[in-house]
Amino acid sequence: MSGQEFFQAGERVGVLTTQPLDRLLDYRAPEGGCYLGAYVEVPLGPRKVLGVVWGPGAGGFDSAKLRSVIRVLDVAPMRSEMRQFLGKAADYTLTPMPAMLRLATRAPGLSDPPSMRKILRRGDGVPDRMTEARTRVLEVLEEFGGLAFTPRELADMADVTPSVVKGLVKQGALREEEAPRDTPYPHLDPELPSKQLTDDQANAAAALADAVHSGRYGTTLLKGVTGSGKTEVYLEAVAAALRAGRQALVLLPEIALTAEFLTRVEARFGAKPAEWHSGATLTERRRVWKMAGQGAAQLVIGARSALFLPFRDLGLIIVDEEHDTSYKQEDGVLYNARDMAVLRAAMCSAQVVLASATPSLETWANAEAGKYKRLNLTSRFGASVLPEMRAVDMRSEDLLPATWISPTLKQAMTLRMERGEQSLLFLNRRGFAPVTICRACGAQVACDHCDARMVEHRFMKRLMCHQCGETKPVPEACPSCEVEGKMAPVGPGIERLAEEATALFPEARIAVLSSDLFGSARALKQRIEEIAAGEADIILGTQLVAKGHNFPLLTLVGVIDADLGLQGSDLRAAERTFQLMRQVAGRAGRAERPGEALMQTFQPEHPVIRAILSGDEENFWKAEAAERQAAGVPPYGRMAGIILSGPDLAAVFDLGNAMARNDGPLRQIGAQLFGPAPAPIARVRGRHRVRLLVKAAKGVPLQDAIARWIAPLRLKGDLRLSVDIDPQSFF
Ligand code: ADP
Ligand code: ZN
């Protein structure tokens, strides 16, 4: 990067645009000049596109034909650390820079001129006569001592009609002003009292605060069981950042969690922070983006893409539930927000806190290796203790056909019903039945477009493909042998389990928590609150319930099929099962009542099941780490997945084979190549998918080799190639 910080009008500048081009474009700096990093609008053919001034122009282009930047946008220029971050993230994920810039400018209306709106203040005029309504309006203004409001807000707060407000404006009792639409977020006050922390918590909080005050980069694993107060502790790290005048970012895995979280932030700092997620309105997103850039949003709570906001001075990033798989973006730019948080923090001398009850093996290994610091919260806050965990050996349980609740589990549930406590049954399978089979010929109903079985969803009376969302009615006759009336559901989904629970406990209030049963995040949140308040006896849930919700009356967790996650070829299967089971078990006994977790399994001797039951986490991780080390797989080796797809299977395989033959750049770094082979999901939406897997030692320049390997490829027709560095799942 050149040292030049400002370009005079007419000077050549190189602009990175959001358009899919593989180079910077040269323009002339506009009238008034522009700063390095300025967001600009430039002409491209007949269009105007968004870009950022990335450096001096490259020259070589006929200067007579050079066009001018149209204008500089009214937002703070991109900081050099942000440019570096985008560049490194692009190199790491093998993503073209324009795609990175799109990720960093995902706020609508950035190029709109700064929009203004009308606000009202107290004026000097005296109303000709006072009515009750008019008095209320003036009282509201008095009460908020000098604050200004929009006409709408003012009318609402005074509970009067808009015409009352208009009347007061006419009489000069209210004065109109123009104000920018995007306004700073309310001030957060770190000096408000925090909760009285336990010794354990206070020590951890102090260590994090010290780290923040150092003003240097560092990453800390904050490990503690659910309910141990990790949130309380990291809010103190946020307080430290605010005191230092720096910004903080809290990443959460799920929108449903933010409402409860916002309330806690407000209780601690006296106001709500800025929110960034897909559910936020467009106006709100633009406001967050702009205010983050001006330093007028001290704290942002957001989903993973909040990492790409243009913070002015980011001093702290919290990644809550850092092991959560939703941090890995599986579409478009394939990045892991946890890893990108560490990268970004290193660029801007910030601290990272990775919080989890069940850290990812990557993070655990980094802490073991001393790259990350580690803080432990060992006990749950207050009276709550971790539930007692037991296996229910399904080989010796007596179950009727097509039922899944064992007598042992049923008995434990009955006890909860009698005591007025809640039970939770966990089954990580949406829908009614995962398979619909023909009892005459054994054929299963599959999706027409994907390599996937159709799942019956009884609430919508249809079969659905969980890959592409295609639905169709349950067929009367078998699509394969055409025999009628023989189609039958096989295996349990959460809806079928609900049927069984209703039959066993007809008097119970049963709640089903599955993401597809709720129209909106808000509806889901409301249901969760009702359940927390005791409006259900039995809760049935999919993966959704494993995440951070607080059910004080819950004292029993029954895991219907603890073996579910142990199957499959995923290298992280054991780790995932371990995390999920621990999280689910952590739902029980959060308040004063002790909890119990029962895990139904056909293989109680399985090492993962035994590790979960014994609660010996360190041993589980050590064993898992040793296995991965021996196999040379992440985090002890590197991997990259290459997915090729296209409508014509032969063409896709031809490309894969050609790539395998020309793997010189991979061999140069000693990497191994596997495939081409059909991807685990070999067809999605009518496109065939073929996978290549690259495995390399740690520390070799993997991305560079892959870049050189794929650079000569020319993808014909409808063929697509995507590279997934550090794949999380092997789709
Ligand atoms: P985690 O993030 O580890 O799951 P939380 O921070 O959410 O734990 O704490 C669990 C519950 O205990 C919350 O309701 C929290 O307000 C409460 N809590 C934790 N520590 C304290 C404390 N020192 N004083 C009062 N309440 C606390
Ligand atoms: Zn499908």
Question: Any idea which ligand is nearest the CA of 445?
Answer: 2
Model pLDDT for residues 336-349, shown as the tens digit of each residue? 999 999 999 999 99
Test site for ligand 1: of 225, 263, 381, most ligand atoms within 8 A of the Cβ: 381
Write the CA distances from 601 to 412, 435, 559, integer angstroms. 16, 21, 9
Atom of ligand 1 nearest to the CA of 225: 3
Cis (ω within 30 of 0) for the bond into 676?
yes
Model pLDDT for residues 264-315, shown as the tens digit of each residue? 999 999 998 999 887 676 778 888 999 999 899 999 999 888 999 999 999 9
Model pLDDT for residues 576-603, shown as the tens digit of each residue? 777 777 777 777 765 567 788 898 999 8
**Kind and range of the H or E run holding 203:** helix 199-214
Question: Any idea which ligand is nearest the CA of 551?
Answer: 1
Atom of ligand 1 nearest to the CA of 320: 2
Q: What does the angle CA 7 – CA 9 – CA 12 come to, to the nearest 5 degrees?
A: 60
- Ligand 1 centroid vs 257 CA: distance in angstroms? 15
- Ligand 2 centroid vs 462 CA: distance in angstroms? 14
Atom of ligand 1 nearest to the CA of 548: 4
Length of the chain, please?
A: 731
Report the alpha-carbon distance of residue 232 to residue 355 in Å, rounded: 11
Tokens at 524, concatenated:
């889901």
The closest residue, in CA terms, to atom 25 on ligand 1 is: 195
Residue ranges in the chain whose pLDDT is less than 70: 1-2, 108, 111-116, 144-147, 179-180, 254-258, 279, 281, 330, 380-386, 519-522, 544-549, 565-571, 573, 589-592, 729-731
Tokens at 662, concatenated:
């020309």
The closest residue, in CA terms, to atom 5 on ligand 1 is: 229
Report the alpha-carbon distance of residue 393 to residue 465 in Å, rounded: 32
Q: Report DSSP letters for 344-358, one per residue.
A: HHHHTT-EEEEEESS
- Ligand 2 centroid vs 580 CA: distance in angstroms? 27
- Ligand 1 centroid vs 608 CA: distance in angstroms? 29
Question: Any idea which ligand is nearest the CA of 264?
Answer: 1
Question: Any idea which ligand is nearest the CA of 681?
Answer: 2
Residue of 556, 552, 223, 574 whose CA lies nearest to 388: 556
Test site for ligand 1: of 194, 197, 231, 324, most ligand atoms within 8 A of the Cβ: 231
Tokens at 347, concatenated:
């660029």
pLDDT the model gives residue 7: 95
Write the CA distances from 322 to 220, 253, 503, integer angstroms. 11, 8, 39
Residue with tokens 């957060």: 188
- Ligand 2 centroid vs 730 CA: distance in angstroms? 18
Residue spans of beta strands (DSSP E) within 23-145: 25-28, 34-35, 39-44, 47-56, 71-72, 116-122
How many CA within 13 A on the CB side of residue 350? 32
Test site for ligand 1: of 197, 199, 201, 232, most ligand atoms within 8 A of the Cβ: 232
Atom of ligand 1 nearest to the CA of 232: 6
- CB neighbour list of residue 221: distance below 8 Å, 6 or more residues apart: 322, 354, 356, 359, 363, 364, 366, 367, 372, 373, 374, 375
Q: Quick one: three-class SS letters along 657-698?
A: HHHHHCCHHHHHCCCEEEEEEEEEEEEECCEEEEEEEEEEEC
Question: Any idea which ligand is nearest the CA of 472?
Answer: 2
Write the CA distances from 429 to 514, 539, 544, 550, integer angstroms. 9, 15, 11, 22
- Ligand 2 centroid vs 567 CA: distance in angstroms? 22
Model pLDDT for residues 86-124, shown as the tens digit of each residue? 999 999 999 999 999 999 998 767 766 666 677 788 888
- Ligand 1 centroid vs 196 CA: distance in angstroms? 10
Report the alpha-carbon distance of residue 621 to residue 260 in Å, rounded: 31
Tokens at 713, concatenated:
């490829």
The closest residue, in CA terms, to atom 11 on ligand 1 is: 227
The set of protein residues with a Cβ atom below 6 angstroms from ligand 1 is: 195-198, 201, 224, 226-232, 381
The closest residue, in CA terms, to atom 18 on ligand 1 is: 229
pLDDT the model gives residue 624: 83
- Ligand 2 centroid vs 448 CA: distance in angstroms? 6
Find the DSSP H helices in 215-318: 230-243, 255-269, 282-294
- Ligand 2 centroid vs 527 CA: distance in angstroms? 30
Report the alpha-carbon distance of residue 313 to residue 294 in Å, rounded: 9
Residue with tokens 């689910």: 584
- Ligand 2 centroid vs 435 CA: distance in angstroms? 14
Q: Report DSSP letters for 9-24, one per residue.
A: TT-EEEEEESSS-SS-
